[in-house]
Amino acid sequence: MGGTRYIGGEAPGQGRYALAEMVGRGGFATVWRARSVDGKKGYFRGGREVAVKVIPVYSYGERSRALREGQIAEGLKHPNIVETLEVIPGDLEVYLVTEFVRGDPLDVAARHYRMDDVIDSLVQILSALEYAHSRGIIHRDIKPQNALVDGRGRVKLTDFGVAYRAGDTRLTQVGYAVGTPGYIAPEILDGENPTELTDIYAVGATARALLARQPEEPPPRLLEFVNRATSPNPDHRPKGAGAALKLLTGRRDSTGAQKTRVVDKAPNKGGGGGYLGHVLRAVNGIVAGWLGYLVAGLLLNDAASLGVAAGFGVLGYLLPRLGALGVIVALAVALARNGQISFGLAALLPAVGGLWVAAGSVSGGTSRLPLGPLLSIPLAGVGLGAGLPLLFGALMRPLGAVPSAAMGAASLVVYDLAWEDGALPYLGLSLGNLPLGAGPAEFLRQGEALVGAYPSLGLLAVLWAVMAGVVSAAEWVGQWALGLVVAVGGGVLGYALAVSETPAALSEAMTSLGLAAIMYGAIRFLSSRAGG
């Protein structure tokens, strides 16, 4: 620690923060990763990781500018703005201490974005600007490099170094344009004062830069937003960040300057094109490969089965929905040719699968993991089936997690009634097998009769859906630990009071859910620690 540089202290070698490594350099400042080394301030815990922007000052004017940036940023508290914790004036430098955002600039993170992720990032930027504008702050340098994306997909505006605050004396000479070429509104180049519409133009230019990486055509609403936001005539632009949000999202009302919008995609939650999007696709590919292996095992030899499994696995990863439809159709054909189901049921499988895949288009998570409900079958085989709702809650937004979990319960029940001995895990019921040689109508009629006679069959699907929704909602607002506790506690009560018919079944459900909860909690805790 002898070479460690400290700041915020009254003597050399002392201070409240120890600078660890430089993580960024600009034309006028450097940014360091640092740690607090004492707890004198109530909201600092010893060892907390922070970022420190070091601004050299060589004149009174430069010092005033640096302190002004810190004062402006200190007054902004919003989920989509990097929080400034402290401003420390030094003799030759000013230090801005902020939260440390472990992630990438938006231009880097957007390399793997899909269209919905682009729109979501713009919504977050506009939400931050609506809040800042309501406090008289114009950012003046909106661009992808000044928006950081953390590990959960949340976009945070940073660098208010050239921000304009209503009532402040203009610090730049008339005719001198502040900002980055390509993102500066035309009226600024003509010497006019910055306004909210200055930032709106920069958001439009940011959208245009992000869309340059997209292989598909932007939807009409997004295209209209870009064209209007980047209009050379300020009168043609949305009249503020709230109006821009309304134009971009179609909301009847804006978010409101006093409201905060928490966007959490854990990482890129909801199946964004980043890390989590690849996880969802990978899981879908694994399930597709497993089903492909089963299909090939019914029709081909073992050597060919591995090739078919690999092919379906790759297809399930690259084109999840097409892969899901392909493997469902192949499975129906294989089961029918092998005499395990009637041709009527063979036609029912692709029909139900097609409806599910089509419905999944409304949720990014479901569209990338359409085969997810079938995970309940192998997971139940290794004693983790009851934990499927936790998995869906961690990977998907509520819109995808809730129906996927319910479908997972239905898949498990149908599988056990159709191909196993009819003894249902977690329920304690032994109902025998459904008639697989009958037609779809008879199959559905008997299934309906079973649900009517044994309500716990339907209650299992409801319980799984609720648990997945609780976990997903908690992930969404950044309270995963609370969500885990509520979901597991509610799940145990649900099994005990409504689902499990025997003590043995309840014990099996609690063991499965407990193991899954321990695994989820450990992984989530370690990932949150790794992410700072």
Cβ burial, residue 13 (10 Å; 0-12/13-18/19+): exposed
447 lies in the same domain as 518: yes
Domain presence at residue 419: yes
Domain presence at residue 257: no
Choose one of 360, 385, 405: the last residue of a domain.
Answer: 360
Q: How high is the mean pLDDT of the chain?
A: 84
Name the pLDDT band for 215 (thresholds 50, 70, 90).
confident
DSSP H helices, 250-342, are 275-299, 302-318, 320-337
Domain presence at residue 200: yes
Q: Which of 169-178, 252-261, 340-349, 507-516 has the lowest mean pLDDT?
A: 252-261
**Number of separate domains in the chain:** 4
Domain presence at residue 432: yes
pLDDT recorded at residue 175: 44
Domain presence at residue 259: no
3-state secondary structure (DSSP) of residue 33: strand
92 lies in the same domain as 107: no
Nearest Cα neighbor of 228 from 215, 216, 243 is 243
**Amino acid letter at 189?**
L
Binding-site residues sit at 53
316 lies in the same domain as 426: no
Choose one of 72, 99, 126: the last residue of a domain.
Answer: 99
Best mean pLDDT range from 25-39, 43-57, 442-456:
442-456
Q: Which domain holds residue 425?
A: 371-532
Once rounded to an integer, what is the mean pLDDT over residues 152-163?
Answer: 88
pLDDT recorded at residue 189: 85
Binding-site residues for ATP sit at 53
For residue 146, the domain's CATH number is 1.10.510.10
Q: In Å, how far from its chain's centre is CA 509?
A: 29
Q: How many Cβ atoms sit within 10 Å of the Cβ of residue 152? A: 21
Once rounded to an integer, what is the mean pLDDT over residues 221-241?
Answer: 93
Choose one of 297, 327, 360: the last residue of a domain.
Answer: 360
Residues 4-29 pLDDT 10s: 678 876 544 456 888 888 988 876 78
Report yes or no on whether pTM surpasses 0.85.
Answer: no
522 lies in the same domain as 461: yes
237 lies in the same domain as 149: yes
Nearest Cα neighbor of 249 from 263, 268, 266, 236 is 263
Please say whether the beta carbons of 175 and 191 come within 8 A. Answer: yes
192 lies in the same domain as 148: yes
Number of helices (H), then strands (E), belonging to the chain: the values are 19, 13
pLDDT recorded at residue 411: 93
Cβ burial, residue 42 (10 Å; 0-12/13-18/19+): exposed
pLDDT recorded at residue 202: 96
Residues contacting residue 269 through CB under 8 Å, at least 6 positions apart: 152, 153, 276, 396, 397, 475, 476
Angle between helices 275-299 and 320-337 (to 10 degrees): 20
48 lies in the same domain as 77: yes
Catalytic pick among 107, 116, 117, 141: 141
Name the pLDDT band for 448 (thresholds 50, 70, 90).
confident
Domain presence at residue 405: yes
513 lies in the same domain as 432: yes
pLDDT recorded at residue 178: 65
276 lies in the same domain as 233: no
167 lies in the same domain as 107: yes
- Please say if the pLDDT value at position 40 is more than 60: no
365 compared with 122, residue with greater pLDDT? 122
3-state secondary structure (DSSP) of residue 480: helix
- The reply to whether 141 belongs to the active site is yes
Phi-psi category of 322—alpha, beta or left, where left has phi over 0 and alpha has psi -120 to 50? alpha
Q: Which of 71-85, 165-179, 209-223, 499-513 has the lowest mean pLDDT?
A: 165-179
For residue 54, the domain's CATH number is 3.30.200.20
3-state secondary structure (DSSP) of residue 251: coil
**Torsions phi, psi for 430 (to 5 deg):** -130, 100
- Please say if the pLDDT value at position 376 is more than 80: yes
Residues 84-136 pLDDT 10s: 898 898 888 889 999 999 889 999 999 889 899 999 999 999 999 999 999 99
Residues 268-325 pLDDT 10s: 444 444 556 778 889 999 999 999 988 888 877 667 788 888 999 999 988 898 999 9
58 lies in the same domain as 143: no
Nearest Cα neighbor of 291 from 254, 259, 335 is 335
245 lies in the same domain as 116: yes
Per DSSP bridges, beta strands 15-25 and 5-8 are: antiparallel
Domain presence at residue 43: yes
Residues 465-491 pLDDT 10s: 999 999 998 887 768 889 999 999 999
Domain presence at residue 365: no
